[in-house]
Each structure stands twice: as structure tokens, then as C-alpha cells.
């Protein structure tokens, strides 16, 4: 199976996987990682390469379709957003990514969830004040456990940190993890391909979004 993964016309080849056993809507959660304005809107992007990759692959439109279909079939849609203090009070001083952002003074202001992906009433929104991954200092595991979730589908940004870190955490917590190859963005795009091929596939199932949609269309 060949799926679009890069912004330069190249593709990532992924061996076909049967996801059917892991996509029961009653036990599946789609997790949206940091789908926020200052990461995804090109005019506001703190890390321009991430926003450019997201724009190139049509990430927002694809996520809107996926989240809508998840809601239709009854799967949980859950957002983890970075929402720490804008004045930086109490934040760790060891985050080296600050060297990579366009405007360091706004590094921790990730902004609101991007318009087309705004949560619906039944969705769960978790606001993280510390760390850079989905489970760290958040009630994510408690929500997933209490709601009987077994499969976690990871989407959003960035592949470089939040996606890969959360995938490893989810695996360590005992969840079946699915990372959608065309529903994440990172910088540079070729790194995303290498990450999927050599790291994430060792802790998660990797598949294109359409494979999940094709399964759910029958639900």
C-alpha cells in the first residue's frame, strides 16, 4: 500500500494491515494532539515547517473528515491541547525546542483549537500546562480507562515530539495504538517518513486515514 506522506511528491510504502479488530467505535478514541492555531495556521506558525507540511498534505481537512466520522459512529474524540501560562510562571527551563521557534516570546502561546476542528459538545478537551506529550501531567489515561477505551488513534502535531512521545506513552499504558500516516505533520517532512518507518511502527500500527474511514463507513 502506498500512501501520501511527504510534501515533495514522494510516498511512504506501508504493508497492508487489518485494523478491523481494533476499530470498534465503543472502545476506540481518536486523539487530536495540539491542533492549535499557532501550530497549524501559516500566518501564525511558531514552527513554520510544521505548518507548511500540514498545509501541503491537507491535514486540517483530513482531520475534520476523520473526527466527523468518528463522532458519527460513536467513537470518542478527545483533544489534548497545550495551554500553559502565557507569562511562563512555573514552567520548566530545560525545553530545548525553544531554539527552533520563530518567536521565542510566544513559544508557549499555542492559541485556540483551529476553527475547522473545533470540538463538539460530547468531545473531551484536556488542557496540558506542563510537558510535551499527551499523558504527562494530564487525566488522559483516566478518561480512556474509565470510558473503556482499548484503541487510541493518534493525530495532529507535531510528529517530532507530541505524536511519537504520546505513542510510546500509550503503548506503555497498555493501549493498542494506531498512528495515521497522513494525519500527522512534522518538520522536515522527510523526518516524518523516517519516524514512521523506523520508530513508530515498532510501538504502533501505521495506516492511512482512509483505511479507518473505509472500515467505519459500514458502521
Chain mean pLDDT for the chain = 89
| CA 166/CA 146 separation, integer angstroms | 19
**Whether pLDDT at 14 is above 60:** no
**Interacting residues of 173 by C-beta distance below 8 A, sequence separation 6+:** 135, 141, 144
Phi and psi at residue 47, to the nearest 5°? -120, 90
Least confident piece of the model among 101-110, 167-176, 182-191: 101-110
User: Residue 15: its pLDDT value, please?
Assistant: 58
Q: Which residues pair with 32 in a beta bridge?
A: 79, 155
The CA-CA-CA angle for residues 178, 94, 196, to 5°, reads 20
User: Residue 1: its pLDDT value, please?
Assistant: 46
Q: Please give the average per-residue pLDDT across 109-137, as a whole number.
A: 93
Given the C-alpha cell 510544521, which residue does it identify? 50
User: Residue 5: its pLDDT value, please?
Assistant: 47
User: Residue 151: its pLDDT value, please?
Assistant: 98
Range 58-65, long-range pairs (CB < 8 A, 24+ positions)? 59/182, 59/183, 59/184, 59/185, 60/35, 60/114, 60/116, 60/117, 61/116, 62/182, 62/183, 62/209, 63/32, 63/35, 63/117, 63/155, 63/156, 63/183, 64/116, 64/117, 65/209, 65/213
| pLDDT higher at 48 or 86 | 48
Domains of the chain with CATH codes: 2-216 (3.40.50.850)
Residue 139 · residue 126 · CB < 8 Å: yes
Query: Using 50, 70 and 90 to split pLDDT, how confident is the model at 156?
Result: very high
Q: Please give the average per-residue pLDDT across 178-183, as a whole number.
A: 98
| CA 164/CA 135 separation, integer angstroms | 12
Distances in whole angstroms, Cα of residue 170 to Cα of each of 53, 83, 146, 158: 25, 21, 15, 16
Amino acid at each position: 500500500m502506498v500512501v501520501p506522506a511527504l510534501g515533495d511528491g514522494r510516498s511512504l510504502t506501508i504493508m497492508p494491515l487489518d485494523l478491523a479488530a481494533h476499530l470498534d467505535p465503543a472502545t476506540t478514541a481518536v486523539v487530536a494532539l495540539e491542533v492549535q492555531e499557532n501550530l497549524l495556521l501559516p500566518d501564525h506558525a511558531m514552527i513554520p515547517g510544521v505548518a507548511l507540511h500540514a498545509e501541503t498534505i491537507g491535514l486540517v481537512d483530513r482531520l475534520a473528515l476523520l473526527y466527523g466520522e468518528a463522532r458519527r459512529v460513536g467513537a470518542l474524540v478527545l483533544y489534548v491541547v497545550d495551554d500553559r501560562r502565557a507569562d511562563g510562571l512555573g514552567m520548566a527551563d530545560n525545553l530545548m525546542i525553544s531554539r527552533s521557534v520563530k518567536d521565542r516570546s510566544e513559544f508557549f502561546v499555542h492559541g485556540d483549537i483551529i476553527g475547522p476542528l473545533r470540538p463538539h459538545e460530547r468531545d473531551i478537551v484536556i488542557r496540558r500546562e506542563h510537558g510535551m506529550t499527551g499523558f504527562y501531567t494530564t487525566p488522559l489515561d483516566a478518561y480512556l480507562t474509565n470510558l473503556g477505551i482499548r484503541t487510541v488513534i493518534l493525530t495532529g502535531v507535531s510528529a517530532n515530539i507530541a505524536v511519537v512521545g504520546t505513542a510510546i506513552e500509550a503503548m506503555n499504558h497498555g493501549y493498542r495504538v494506531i498512528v495515521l500516516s497522513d494525519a500527522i505533520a512534522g518538520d522536515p517532512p522527510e523526518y516524518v517518513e523516517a519516524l514512521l518507518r523506523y520508530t513508530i511502527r515498532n510501538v504502533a500500527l501505521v495506516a492511512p486515514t482512509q483505511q479507518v474511514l473505509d472500515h467505519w463507513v459500514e458502521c
